[in-house]
Structures are given as C-alpha cells and as structure tokens.
C-alpha cells in the first residue's frame, strides 16, 4: 500500500508567516498591557512611577532590564518627583521677598559676606540646633537678598520656612487678636523650622508688640531658628524695644548671645543695579525726541508741497 505524501498547503502560509503573526499578536498584547500599567499608575496617583514607566516604554527598554532594576527605577522616579513637588511647595509657601539661590550670593569680605561663614550656614546646622542669624547693614547692602537666599536654601534642604516683613507680621498679629485666633497664629509661627523677620527694629514697637515678639521668640528659642535682618546695629535694638524693659532684656538675651552675624557694608547695590537702565533710558529718550523732530519736519514738507500743488 502506497503511502500518501502530504504536500504543503500554501493556503495556510509558511512557518515564517506564522512566526510574524505570533510576534505581532505578542507585541500588540504586550503593548496593551504596558498601556494598562501606565494607566493604573496614574490612577493610583503615582506620577513619578508613571513618568518613569512611560520613558522606559518610549525607549523600548522594558524587556531589556531585570525586574529588580525596573522596580528600583520606578521607586527612584516616584521619590524624585515627590521631593521636587515638596520643595516647590515649601518655596511657594515661604512667601520670599526675592527668589534667589545661595549660589548667587557673591562673597566679599569687604562687604561683610565671609566665605567661611557662608559655607557654615549652608550646612543648615544652625537650623538643626535652633540658632538665630543676625544680618545688619545700611539700606541697599543686600540684607533681604541674603536672608531670602538662606531661606531658599533651607527649603531645598527640606525645611519649612516663612518670610515676614516685621510690620506686616504685627498687622497680622493685630487682626488675629481681634478675630480671637491669636493662639493659633502663635502656634503656627512656632512650627516653622526657619522664620525670617525682615526690616526688624525699623521703628519703635509698642509694649503689646514687644510682648507678642517675646511670645514668638520664647516659643522658638533653642528649637527653631530665626533670621533677623535689620538696618540698625544690634547695639541700637534695645531702643526700639524699651517700651517693655523686661521683655526687651529677655528678647535680646535669647537672640544676641547665640546668633551668627553678617554685618554688611558698602554702597547701595540698588544704585549699581539702576545705573545701566538709567543710561539706556536716557539714550532711548534722545532717540525718541530725534525721531519725533524728523517726523514733524517731514509732515510739514508734505503739507507745504500739497498746498503748492493745489495752487
């Protein structure tokens, strides 16, 4: 009995076509699974992981890395995004007067900004130990600029910071007293890792304001750090606080004895900043006057020629 030889059926396709079809089905299914994972990560509010997963998908690296490496990358991506969001939130809630990084501060011993002291405060040890910082100097020497830079750096290190102009702080304290929420405000002020009081001792304080300041300093002493920026030398601070002598003595004793100090000197930085724009403005003004004069003459010539033509 003859054996029947089975011929290949061309209608069913070759083995290569079967393999191609299988690969297409696999990649379609795999791609759908990856998109589902991306959607689930977003739904679970894990944006850092979702962004990392999407980057791996776009780079076609998901199949080439191990599960351990993939998990490490996803966790790192989520952690980085959370840290970035937290830092942005800390800076926003600090309400800085200026947005300036510590690296933008130009060290100059002649101006009172010593490099070694700046390096020391950049470690934020003063915040961890609850030590104050005093920044004094004439108007325009960069006190608020330096204070804002120190606060910005503290936010980058993960500390909770709040910037206040002192007189606006006292206005807020007055409103809180009227609205019977003063204890809550004192409690909130005591929770900041770093409190910046700008334009400190700019005017003589009332007895009530001195007591409020004493309450703030007492809550923070030894636990939280405070930066004082003032035009007056420390030796003259007592004169602005002596409406309550006992509280003034207590405030200065807690602040002055343990503080690191920046005593800024030199000419106003604002004058140097405004010099170039002022020159530019003068040049533009001369140019504008010249253009207007030429345009006026041109119009008169046109009117004159038109009048002659009519005649």
21-59: pLDDT as tens digits: 444 344 445 667 888 888 888 888 888 888 888 888 888
Q: Which fold has domain 104-263?
A: Rossmann fold (3.40.50)
Q: How far apart (Å, rounded) are the C-alpha atoms in residues 223 and 195?
A: 12
Is the CB of residue 197 less than 8 Å from the CB of residue 235?
Answer: no
pLDDT in tens, 107-160: 888 889 999 999 999 999 999 999 999 999 999 899 999 999 999 999 999 999
pLDDT of residue 46: 87
Domain boundaries, the chain: 22-91, 104-263
- Which residue, among 161, 137, 136, 164, has the nearest Cα to 150 in the 3D structure? 161
pLDDT-based confidence at residue 180 (cuts at 50, 70, 90): very high
Q: Is the pTM of this model over 0.75?
A: no
Strand order in the sheet with 225-230: 161-165, 194-198, 225-230, 133-136, 260-263
Count Cβ atoms below 10 Å from residue 156 Cβ, excluding itself. 15
Rounded to whole angstroms, how far apart are CA atoms 166 and 261? Answer: 19
pLDDT at 301 over 80: no
Question: What is the C-alpha separation between 95 and 164, in angstroms, rounded?
Answer: 8
CA 304 to chain centre: 62
Q: Where are the beta strands (DSSP E) in 137-239?
A: 161-165, 194-198, 225-230
CB 210 within 8 A of CB 204: no
Please count the other Cβ atoms lying within 10 Å of the Cβ belonging to residue 244.
19
Dihedral sign, CA of 94, 95, 99, 105?
A: negative
pLDDT band at 3 (very low <50, low <70, confident <90, very high): low
Mean pLDDT of 103-107: 90
Per-residue pLDDT, 12? 46
Distance CA 152, CA 133 (A): 15
Helix (H) or strand (E) holding 162: strand 161-165
């Amino acid at each position: 009995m003859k054996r029947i030889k089975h011929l290949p059926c061309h209608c069913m396709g070759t083995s290569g076509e079967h393999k191609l079809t299988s690969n297409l089905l696999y990649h379609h299914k795999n791609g759908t699974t990856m998109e589902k994972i991306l959607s689930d990560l977003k739904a679970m509010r894990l944006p850092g992981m979702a962004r990392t997963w999407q980057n791996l998908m776009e780079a076609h690296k998901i199949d080439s890395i191990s599960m351990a490496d993939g998990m490490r990358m996803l966790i790192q991506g989520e952690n980085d995004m959370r840290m970035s969001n937290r830092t942005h939130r800390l800076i926003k809630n600090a309400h800085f007067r200026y947005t300036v990084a510590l690296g933008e501060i130009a060290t100059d011993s002649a101006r009172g900004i010593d490099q070694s002291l700046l390096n020391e405060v950049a470690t934020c040890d003063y915040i961890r130990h609850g030590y104050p910082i005093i920044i004094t100097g004439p108007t325009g020497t960069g006190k608020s600029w330096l204070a804002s830079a120190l606060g910005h750096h503290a936010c980058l290190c993960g500390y909770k910071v709040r910037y206040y102009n002192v007189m606006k702080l006292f206005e807020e304290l007055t409103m809180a007293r009227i609205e019977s929420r003063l204890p809550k405000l004192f409690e909130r002020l005591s929770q900041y890792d770093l409190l910046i009081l700008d334009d400190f001792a700019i005017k003589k304080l009332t007895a009530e304001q001195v007591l409020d300041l004493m309450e703030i300093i007492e809550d923070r002493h030894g636990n939280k750090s405070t930066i004082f920026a003032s035009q007056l030398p420390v030796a003259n601070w007592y004169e602005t606080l002596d409406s309550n002598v006992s509280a003034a003595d207590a405030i200065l004793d807690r602040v002055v004895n343990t503080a690191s100090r920046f005593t800024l000197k030199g000419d106003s930085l604002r004058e140097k900043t405004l010099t170039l724009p002022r020159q530019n403005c003068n040049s533009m003004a001369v140019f504008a006057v010249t253009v207007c004069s030429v345009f006026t003459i041109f119009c008169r010539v046109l009117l004159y020629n038109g009048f002659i033509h009519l005649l």
